[in-house]
Amino acid sequence: MEPSASIYTTFNLRLYDFVVLVISNAFAWRCSTRSTLLPFYQKHTKESSAHLEVGSGTGYYPATAASSGALSKTRLITLCDLNPNTLAYSKSRIASAGYRGSIETLEHNIFHPLAQDVRGKYDSIALYYLLHCLPGSFPQKATDVFATVVPALAPNGVLFGATILGKGVEHNWFGSRLMGLYNKKGMFGNTGDSEEGLKEALGEAFEESEVTIVGVVALFEARKPRGVTN
């Protein structure tokens, strides 16, 4: 397994929410989980009947959205991840949060094509804190990931996500140290990830897209994949 996924042992998953969602998001990446990332997630899932969560991690966002009622219309959540630990951990957390629909898990490398039977299946697809973890040049890795997930998007569906940029943004001292360390260990691969590159990859794959920068995080949403007629 690649280091972008193998780092998420059950022990590390227990630390993840505090280290990443509380400390790093507030002080290194300057993008608040509670006031920015969670509302952005809830906004895009609240009307979704079937949701695909790529890179499920601890399942914080779907679990918190479920407990706040933002997934009350969602009858299916599919969790897709390369690491079986994160799939088991996030599935159990979402179920414990009171989610009433079905939860499917898919152990899968997002650089490989999805099965034909997911074609047009999802009203919403989340890519939260996935792209910056992935190895490869930018924007090619984003283009590759969009090419994997776009066939699974329903005609009026939305793809949305958030990613930590490494280029063209001002990292503070804490963020620079953390980014350097994580890139060295292979947990991040974002030294070349820029807003321009992200816009380029989104623009190639979708007719409509929008990117908003908060701190050093790019929040993005996209609709109407190119070459797909509704």
Ligand X SMILES: C[S@@+](CC[C@H](N)C(=O)[O-])C[C@H]1O[C@@H](n2cnc3c(N)ncnc32)[C@H](O)[C@@H]1O
Q: Which 41-80 positions form the footprint of ligand X (CB under 6 A)?
A: 55-57, 60
Q: Give all strands of the β-sheet with 76-81 in edge-to-edge order.
A: 102-107, 76-81, 50-54, 122-128, 153-164, 217-225, 206-214
Q: Nearest-CB residue to ligand X?
A: 57
CB of 141 to ligand X, least distance (A): 9
Choosing from 86, 105, 163, 190, the residue that interacts with ligand X (CB under 6 A) is: 86
Phi, psi of 92 (to 5 degrees): -65, -35
CA 43, 49, 53, 59 dihedral sign is: positive
For ligand X, give the closer residue by CB, 21 or 205: 21
Query: What is the DSSP secondary structure assignment for residue 169, as one 8-state letter?
Result: S
User: Is 61 or 206 the residue whose CB approaches ligand X more closely?
Assistant: 61
Lookup: tokens for 67: 């407990």
3-11, 178-186, 193-201, 211-219 -> range binding ligand X (CB under 6 A):
3-11
Name the amino acid, one letter, at 72. S
Nearest to 54 by CA among 5, 13, 16: 5
Nearer to ligand X, 50 or 134 (CB): 134
Shortest Cβ 203–ligand X spacing (Å)? 23
**Nearer Cβ to ligand X (60/122):** 60
Binding mask 133-172 for ligand X (x = CB under 6 A): xx--------------------------------------
Closest approach of ligand X to the CB of residue 101, in Å = 19
Tell me which residues in 101-130 interact with ligand X (CB under 6 A): 109-111, 128-130
Q: Which is nearer to ligand X, 112 or 227 (CB)?
A: 112
Half-sphere CA count of 60, side-chain side, radius 13 A: 19
Task: Quote the strand ranges of 6-136, DSSP E.
Answer: 50-54, 76-81, 102-107, 122-128
C-alpha span between 80 and 96 (Å, rounded): 19
Residue 57: partners with Cβ closer than 8 Å, 6 or more residues away = 8, 13, 16, 81, 86, 90, 128, 129
Q: Which stretch binds ligand X (CB under 6 A): 1-9, 113-121, 147-155, 173-181?
A: 1-9
Give the nearer residue to ligand X in terms of CB position, either 50 or 126.
126
Q: Which residues bind ligand X (CB under 6 A)?
A: 2, 4-5, 8, 55-57, 60, 81-83, 86, 109-111, 128-130, 133-134
